[in-house]
Structure 1
Amino acid sequence: MYAEALNTYQVIVKNKMFSNAGILKMNMGNIYLKQRNYSKAIKFYRMALDQVPSVNKQMRIKIMQNIGVTFIQAGQYSDAINSYEHIMSMAPNLKAGYNLTICYFAVGDREKMKKAFQKLIAVPLEIDEDKYISPSDDPHTNLVTEAIKNDHLRQMERERKAMAEKYIMTSAKLIAPVIETSFAAGYDWCVEVVKASQYVELANDLEINKAVTYLRQKDYNQAVEILKMLEKKDSRVKSAAATNLSALYYMGKDFAQASSYADIAVNSDRYNPAALTNKGNTVFANGDYEKAAEFYKEALRNDSSCTEALYNIGLTYEKLNRLDEALDCFLKLHAILRNSAEVLYQIANIYELMENPSQAIEWLMQVVSVVPTDPQVLSKLGELYDHEGDKSQAFQYYYESYRYFPCNIEVIEWLGAYYIDTQFWEKAIQYFEGASLIQPTQVKWQLMVASCFRRSGNYQKALDTYKDTHRKFPENVECLRFLVRLCTDLGLKDAQEYARKLKRLEKMKEIREQRIKSGRDGSGGSRGKREGSASGDSGQNYSASSKGERLSARLRALPGTNEPYESSSNKEIDASYVDPLGPQIERPKTAAKKRIDEDDFADEELGDDLLPE
């Protein structure tokens, strides 16, 4: 209720009975700042600053800090710099030094950034660590030291130190890439400044940040070099460096090196959950899932919020076929990471493995709500609906998957088959043509396109497609059989040429098969079999040979041929084929035949008296 609060403050400030009411103008400035009325906020802060006596130094510094924050939010960095420079000269503190560094970064002044960073590091912490070291010879002092080791003052000092380290690390990461010609030189400058200060232990953390920056720039060799150098430091830094090295080698599929560095990290700091997780990963990669689960459990015991370990233990239980435990892990993880698409997908996958497709679909729908453009998830939904028999929903999700990623062959094949089932041949052609572009060396897609043209009644287009396919795949027997059949049905003279090619191909295929067979069984046995087959019954394939004769007679009678087609042997031409789209669906029968069958006179003989005169 900002308006009411401002009115109340205004009444108090105007009342002359309250001599120190001017200080309330700072509260009014705070309200205007929350309302984003920056000009009025600064006005009231300055009025409050005028009414605070100079002896009240801390209050004046706090008001000036508020003025600086207001200028930053208003984007007036030069005015904010003036406020913070004044504070750092009068009574330096961590917040003011940090904000001053940010302001110089915003205006892009490299030299001033360096000076502000040095001022920030020079701010005294005013923490005496020696008083917490208990001497061994005085039992009374030891008791006092034990009592104050974790009291409220000590906790406050820890918070102050943690805040200082956070400000310094954040400032260094912010300015390091811009204060020098390269980010590496900038980090080196920051490390040298930190080493010469009271925050010596932060230098190693900055080196690790430098290695991480190299990783972000995909300069793995430099990152590994820095991490290997840090591996020789104290146990905490050694554990962090070895953990990062283990992760790097794991991603590079060098599991032996990853395992050795994970061991170093674990031995340096047994309570490092990241190190234990990496060690579990290397064991998982070697297929020892039970042992991997033990490492993940230990990581979770050390840090119950280690989501990586919880996720990995779920995958481990899935590998061990302990699906109920895996589901329990992922549901716990879902309670922590509410909108994680990976976790939601794993839950759906577990339900699918448990043969509960309705639950799998429900969780996949949640995945789609988080990442609506993931083609793999959409195709999985289509697959599940297809198994459930809901073709319309399956088509919707397969189509969406195809729209976002039109190169998935399985999705294209399903959509083409769907349009064939519904007899929309033209639609199916679009998908099969796309598949032939993705897999130009696969003849089946072009045969399917031609078959769709043939079924839709466009025989000329079908013939052209078969001819084009034959040019690309001259040794494909199926294509030649289609050409022989189609050209024969259309009465084209090309049928003779294609039949000759088909004959030659079949003979080559037979010779090749005989060579393979002779290589297996030995030349003597195969020769005997050939002689036996040659001297066998000549009449057992009478019907087949008669078909061959009929085909040659038809080819001889084709118009425009100068010489008759002569077979080099008595073997028939096998022009039979199998349609890649399956048998053609029968057309629905009309009622014309039915009307004839139901004719009243169908079964009666007409007498002479009914005949016309």
Structure 2
Amino acid sequence: MEHVHLAAEEDDLYSGYNDYNPTFDSEELDNDAGFQQAVRTSHGRRPPVSVITDGAARPMTAVRAAGYSSAMTRGSTFDPLGQSKGPAPPLEGKSEDTPDEKVKILEKKVNDLIEESCLAHGHGDLQLSLDRAKEAGRKERALVRQREQSGNADHINLDLTYSVLFNLATQYANNDMYAEALNTYQVIVKNKMFSNAGRLKVNMANIHFKQKNYPKAIKLYRMALDQISNSHKEMRIKIMQNIGVVFIRMGQYSDAITSFEHIMSESPNIKTGFNLILCYYAIGDRERMKKAFQKLICVPLGIDEEDNHPHYKALAEKFIMTSAKLIAPAIEATFAAGFDWCVDMVKSSQYVELANDLEINKAITYLRQRDFKQAVETLKTFEKKDSRVKSAAATNLSFLYFLEKDYDQADRYADLAMTADRYNPAALINKGNTVFVKKDYEKAAEFYKEALRNDSSCTEALYNLGLTYKRLGRLEESLDCFLKLHAILRNSAQVMWQLANLFEMLEDPHQAIEWLMQLITVTPTDPQVLAKLGELYDSEGDKSQAFQYYQESFRYFPSNIDVIEWLGAYYIDTQFCEKAIQYFERATLIQPTQVKWQLMVASCYRRSGNYQKALETYKDIHRKFPENIECLRFLVRLCTDMGMKEVQDYATKLKKVEKMKEIREQRVKSAREGSARGTRREGSASSGDSHGTSAKGERLSAKMRALPGSNEPYEASSQRDIDASYVDPLGAPMERPKTAAKKRNEDDDFADEELGDDLLPE
């Protein structure tokens, strides 16, 4: 089989002999009479290029020899060894060295470069496009010089010169090289040999418009208008539109109106009609706004004479809707009356189906004005309309009632919307939402899935489905929803937050941190995101990174108690109590009735060695909270150590308050005899001054922070514990890491022997 295959290949190889190009057969050139004759010609002993390119006289081959007529080659024999005695036929072929051939080759190169330039622009490579345009310009100038040298200057190809210059100017403009583009256009415009070059003043005016040189743009648009005959009506209209737009940019609305009114009388179109309404709105002319709106809705539909837009009717409807929303509040005493006038006009026009959309828009405008009642009343008028409008109105009503937390009504209108149009994804989402709030998550998921089947790009349904799976504990499926959503909404902060939260729930803090890092590139000043990053880094044991993000969070929102608490604890933990003071002082401003923050401030002063300031702070706390036992104990201790006379007063007050507390505790214990809570309190009371009481007091302090306003009595530390922590203030910071570590394990960063919530005055 292999042998047969090779033989076949050999047959194929020789069967195409006549197709062989002899140009590359260098071995036989010495014996080729035609070639030898060519090298002996007068062209500097160099064969003409055409001879080498197309081959010498080879009548046996499929390639016809250049420079020979059929009469010459017909009947001649193939004589590779040069044995023929007859003279070689003369060469008559055109050479590339002849002036005409050089001109043709150059012209082809120029055209090829222009084509390459245009193709590069089409592919978006603007720099390559400009390079090819410049090269075409250089080749074209060489071509002109070639013609001049050969005495054919009168036969210059004007069309080619125009194409080169026009393309070069266009590519300069595309590369924002406006000065070069204008200079190139000027060369064309000034040359009288180019017919209709005056039209290019429009291109020049466009460049001046981009440069915001509006007076120059108008001047050039008008010059172009003067050079275009009335027979070119479409082009004249477009130029007048441009003039009107420039006048709008200049704020000269009356001049713009003149231009637009002329167009609407000569060749009315949707865009100009819309611009005219904008101008009347800008000058506040109520009546002319109405007339312009009537003209706008009377513009005949059909082929768009401006740009043959395939969705011309949709564009017209968009302009009419926008115009109505704009002028409705301005043409009558109230926006509702204005909307009604617009609706009446539209009902009697070719856009009659737009009337319903306008009325729904009226309801939405009411909603924006926070007039919920009017919005609902307007939407309820659609209950007897055709199915599409009814479904749209019912969908809006369902959404409004859902926002108002009237879930029964929301459910009713969601059903109505679905009955009118079962394939309305918004109606299905609303229905799913009403089921979701009733915690029937499985059923809600079905409605969201159906919405996605009807519209796969419905991001609301995908988001809600992700939330539903999250509530059901199907975290992997929820993650899949939000990852798909992220592919659609790349910069959605909510989606990234959900992804981070899901990874945290899946116990993958590293991925959670990655998503939060992406999130802060979108919302770099979101304090909640920064605080969450701090929390995750803290849980990973990276205190320095946690501190950085908590501090950033505090900088943007200095009122988050959790963040303040963490930062204060961080400074206490790192033995910089004086730096913690500013955070706890901030906490006292936010929660002035919470005594624990003020006790923290006093504690920081005491631990940093500033006893005088600590004493003043405790006195201030005592004035505000005269029954706070913790505060009185420290006042007694500080006054004793500082040898102050007030010590006896504070000691008396302390005994009195402790007695009152004991009586209250007895009452509570008696009232709840036998209960678990009463048992705990009884156990606490019996433990006296032991360290166990102190530890329990700390845990209760944590609960008090978690449940502010709780009536549970506060178990204070014993006097012996206070003395132990206060004997040597300079030594206290050395104990802090151990104490803080203990409190962190108990999920209680701040409660220590002198801190926490005491029984507040009644």
TM range (shorter): 0.7 to 0.9
* C-alpha contact 2:607 2:733 (8 A) present in aligned 1: no
1:326-337 to 2 correspondences below 5 Å: 326-337=478-489
Match of 1:575 among 719, 736, 740: 719
* Corresponding residue of 2:45: none
Q: Report the residue type matching 1:462 in the other structure.
A: A
Shift of 1:53: 3.2
Bigger Cα displacement from structure 2, 398-407 vs 322-331: 322-331
1:378-417 to 2 correspondences below 5 Å: 378-417=530-569
CA distance in 2, matches of 1:199, 1:580: 88
* C-alpha contact 1:249 1:257 (8 A) present in aligned 2: yes
Shift of 1:167: 0.8
2:655 paired with 1:492: no
Structure 1 segments unaligned to the other structure (5+ residues): 128-155, 531-539, 545-572, 589-613
CA distance in 1, matches of 2:184, 2:643: 102
Q: Structure 1's 70 and 511: CA in aligned 2 closer, same or farther, altered over 3 A?
A: closer
CA distance in 1, matches of 2:531, 2:321: 45
Shift of 1:230: 2.8
2:428 paired with 1:276: yes
* Corresponding residue of 1:446: 598
Bigger Cα displacement from structure 2, 16-25 vs 315-324: 16-25
Secondary structure, in 3 states, of the residue corresponding to 1:492? coil
2:262 paired with 1:86: yes
CA distance in 2, matches of 1:581, 1:85: 89
2:291 paired with 1:98: no
* Corresponding residue of 2:492: 340
Shift of 1:71: 2.8
Q: Structure 1's 158 and 55: CA in aligned 2 closer, same or farther, altered over 3 A?
A: closer
* C-alpha contact 1:211 1:222 (8 A) present in aligned 2: yes
2:734 paired with 1:586: yes
Secondary structure, in 3 states, of the residue corresponding to 1:208? helix
Q: Report the residue type matching 2:512 in the other structure.
A: A
Shift of 1:23: 4.2
* Corresponding residue of 2:584: 432
Secondary structure, in 3 states, of the residue corresponding to 1:243? helix
* C-alpha contact 1:448 1:581 (8 A) present in aligned 2: no
Q: Structure 1's 283 and 512: CA in aligned 2 closer, same or farther, altered over 3 A?
A: same
* Corresponding residue of 1:205: 357
Tell me the alpha carbon deviations over residues 143-164 of structure 1, each in whole angstroms, 9 at most, x when there is no partner.
xxxxxxxxxxxxx897221111
What is the aligned-residue identity percentage?
Answer: 74
Q: Report the residue type matching 2:732 in the other structure.
A: Q
* Corresponding residue of 1:607: none
Higher-Rg structure is 2
* C-alpha contact 1:451 1:580 (8 A) present in aligned 2: no
* Corresponding residue of 1:168: 320
2:612 paired with 1:483: no
Secondary structure, in 3 states, of the residue corresponding to 1:198? coil
Q: Structure 1's 498 and 23: CA in aligned 2 closer, same or farther, altered over 3 A?
A: closer
* C-alpha contact 1:379 1:397 (8 A) present in aligned 2: yes
* C-alpha contact 1:444 1:580 (8 A) present in aligned 2: no
Tell me the alpha carbon deviations over residues 74-117 of structure 1, each in whole angstroms, 9 at most, x when there is no partner.
43322221111011111211121111111222222222211111
Tell me the alpha carbon deviations over residues 235-258 of structure 1, each in whole angstroms, 9 at most, x when there is no partner.
222212211111111112221111
Shift of 1:20: 4.7
Match of 2:524 among 372, 379, 383: 372
* C-alpha contact 1:227 1:245 (8 A) present in aligned 2: yes
Structure 2 segments unaligned to the other structure (5+ residues): 1-171, 691-716, 737-762
* Corresponding residue of 1:554: none
Shift of 1:31: 4.5
Match of 1:310 among 452, 455, 462: 462
Bigger Cα displacement from structure 2, 226-235 vs 490-499: 490-499
Q: Structure 1's 449 and 161: CA in aligned 2 closer, same or farther, altered over 3 A?
A: same
* C-alpha contact 1:478 1:577 (8 A) present in aligned 2: no
Q: Structure 1's 574 and 13: CA in aligned 2 closer, same or farther, altered over 3 A?
A: closer
* Corresponding residue of 1:257: 409
* C-alpha contact 1:426 1:452 (8 A) present in aligned 2: yes
Secondary structure, in 3 states, of the residue corresponding to 2:490? coil
* C-alpha contact 1:274 1:299 (8 A) present in aligned 2: yes
* C-alpha contact 1:347 1:363 (8 A) present in aligned 2: yes
Shift of 1:414: 0.7
Tell me the alpha carbon deviations over residues 148-188 of structure 1, each in whole angstroms, 9 at most, x when there is no partner.
xxxxxxxx897221111111001111122222333222222
2:211 paired with 1:63: no
Q: Structure 1's 122 and 581: CA in aligned 2 closer, same or farther, altered over 3 A?
A: farther
Tell me the alpha carbon deviations over residues 276-296 of structure 1, each in whole angstroms, 9 at most, x when there is no partner.
111111111111112111111
Secondary structure, in 3 states, of the residue corresponding to 2:451? helix
CA distance in 2, matches of 1:32, 1:502: 86
Q: Report the residue type matching 1:108 in the other structure.
A: G
* C-alpha contact 1:243 1:275 (8 A) present in aligned 2: yes
Q: Structure 1's 112 and 485: CA in aligned 2 closer, same or farther, altered over 3 A?
A: same
TM-score by length of 2: 0.63
Q: Structure 1's 85 and 443: CA in aligned 2 closer, same or farther, altered over 3 A?
A: same
Shift of 1:509: 3.0
Secondary structure, in 3 states, of the residue corresponding to 2:229? coil
Over aligned residue pairs, what C-alpha RMSD do you find?
3.1
Q: Structure 1's 578 and 239: CA in aligned 2 closer, same or farther, altered over 3 A?
A: farther
Q: Structure 1's 8 and 279: CA in aligned 2 closer, same or farther, altered over 3 A?
A: same
CA distance in 2, matches of 1:462, 1:383: 31
CA distance in 2, matches of 1:192, 1:30: 40
Tell me the alpha carbon deviations over residues 489-522 of structure 1, each in whole angstroms, 9 at most, x when there is no partner.
3333433333333333333333333333333449
CA distance in 2, matches of 1:577, 1:309: 59
Match of 2:399 among 239, 242, 247: 247
Bigger Cα displacement from structure 2, 485-494 vs 184-193: 485-494
* C-alpha contact 1:484 1:575 (8 A) present in aligned 2: no
* C-alpha contact 1:482 1:577 (8 A) present in aligned 2: no
Shift of 1:192: 1.9
* Corresponding residue of 2:291: 115
Shift of 1:42: 3.0
Number of residue pairs aligned between Structure 1 and Structure 2: 517
CA distance in 1, matches of 2:276, 2:400: 37
CA distance in 2, matches of 1:78, 1:185: 28
CA distance in 1, matches of 2:310, 2:576: 73
* Corresponding residue of 1:38: 214
Shift of 1:5: 6.1
2:401 paired with 1:223: no
